[in-house]
Amino acid sequence: MFPVNLTGFFSATHQPRLLSDAEQSMTGRIEITPVSHRLHGRIRPPGSKSITNRALILAALASGKSTLHGVLDSQDTRVMIESLRRLGLTVDQDLECRTCVVTGGGGSLPAPTAELWLENSGTSIRFLTALCAVGNGRYRLDGIQRMRQRPLGDLVRALQQLGGDLQLEEPATDCPPVVVNGRGLDGGTARINGNISSQFLSAILMAAPACHQPVRIEVTGELVSQPYIRMTLSMLRDFGALVEYPADLSRFLVTPAVLPGRNYAIEPDASAASYFFGLAAVNGGTVTVDGLKKDALQGDIEFVSALEQMGCRVEWNSDSVSVSGAPLRGIDIDMNAISDTAQTLATVAVFAEGPTRIRGVAHMRHKETDRIHAVVTELRRAGIEAEEHDDGMTIHPGTPQPCEIQTYDDHRMAMSFALLGVRVPGITILDPKCTEKTYPDFFTDLGQICQELAP
């Protein structure tokens, strides 16, 4: 049994809902009160952001129409779709059916010039920088202040090695804005550092089929977030690209080709699913996520294996995954491959027996915020002992105290720290609308699943 007196969910109304825009402007917060029962819930999260934005790029490069099913509607995908339209491509989106029909440019871009505003979407600015390099025109890509602190230089230099004409406006920062004088990419050999962001390598891999000559890519140093590279490679194969590479993903050879348009189905977001799996872990009930399975395209499905190490029970089904909570124990884990779920594990670890050490996630410092520092800071704000390391953090178990959680304009901070409030009273999430980046309806969905009773 969990030694907590549980009593409800959202404060004031105790009804699951996302605050209205008017309420946001007045309060900018959601206070969560704990759940009074063991859960037995089922949910299908929205489509994967990572797959959606990759599919949009590949469809843009393809020849003819591609129909994408299960498309995520969020800030990150909206800026991607708007940017493709600014580049002269036709994207017809049906929000109700969650589809996009993209008329691709066959490896070129119709617009001779475009200004692209990417907010704080790292996938969008990195993937679009490579896409613009294969076009024929002048394109400028920029974003909010935090975007101007996120590294882009390694990608720019790799594209220059392939014959790209592009420059950072402030080279000393190694960050956006970037100006691309598109004239196509010749091909050849590019070397890229693998330890900052796997998105650099994914961006080049997706643009490579549109190059004039074969592309050889050599990765130097440790390649972080390898499952995301395997995702990119799988999607390239699905769109008809020919890519050769060894098992260690240290080098790649991409053959030029015009990709055909196609129908493509997008999985539910496994990173988003981590919050509901974590909900089962901290509540002691059972949550089933539909649309995901053990061989899912997204590496973040392995988050459930981390919970299993902590003591949870996991049931793999043909088209769903169920996690049941149990007494939790602290673990020592390398989360390099699934770093987008490290914040979720950190909040689950608060309720474990013994400390949890998360390793291998130094690259999290270059995300929407310095996620290592932010997680440790907010855990301490809640009265939890936590230690910051160069490559991760250590979380010691304890009982969170009432506090206001700062979210740093980082959607994953808001969603992961909501799990504290499911167990103990007095946890308030500031700026909950930051979840619009990838999951606009998160708090609504969380509230609904928290009403489901065990049979």
Q: Active site includes 340?
A: yes
CA dihedral 218, 222, 228, 234 (to 10 degrees): 40
CA 134 – CA 107 distance, rounded (Å):
7
Q: What are phi and psi of 167, to 5 degrees?
A: -145, 145
Tokens of 372: 């290592």
CA 396 – CA 401 distance, rounded (Å):
14
Nearest Cα to Cα of residue 156 among 121, 207, 116, 114: 207
Nearest Cα to Cα of residue 59 among 110, 125, 126, 106: 106
> Would you give the distance in Å from CA 218 to the centre of its chain?
25
Q: Are strands 40-43 and 286-290 parallel, antiparallel or unpaired?
A: parallel
Tokens of 447: 């509230």
Sign of CA dihedral 160, 164, 168, 174: negative
Helices (H), 92-143: 122-133
Q: What are phi and psi of 372, to 5 degrees?
A: -65, -50
Classify the phi-psi angles of 392: left when phi > 0, otherwise alpha if psi is within -120 to 50, otherwise beta. Answer: left
| DSSP 8-state secondary structure symbol assigned to residue 216 | E
Tokens of 40: 């037995």
Tell me the three state secondary structure of residue 35: coil
- Active-site residue, from 154, 340, 409, 431: 340
Nearest Cα to Cα of residue 205 among 134, 106, 110: 134
Nearest Cα to Cα of residue 429 among 310, 287, 275, 286: 275
CA 380 – CA 378 distance, rounded (Å):
5
CA 151 – CA 159 distance, rounded (Å):
15
CA 44 – CA 56 distance, rounded (Å):
22
CA 405 – CA 413 distance, rounded (Å):
9
Active site residues: 340
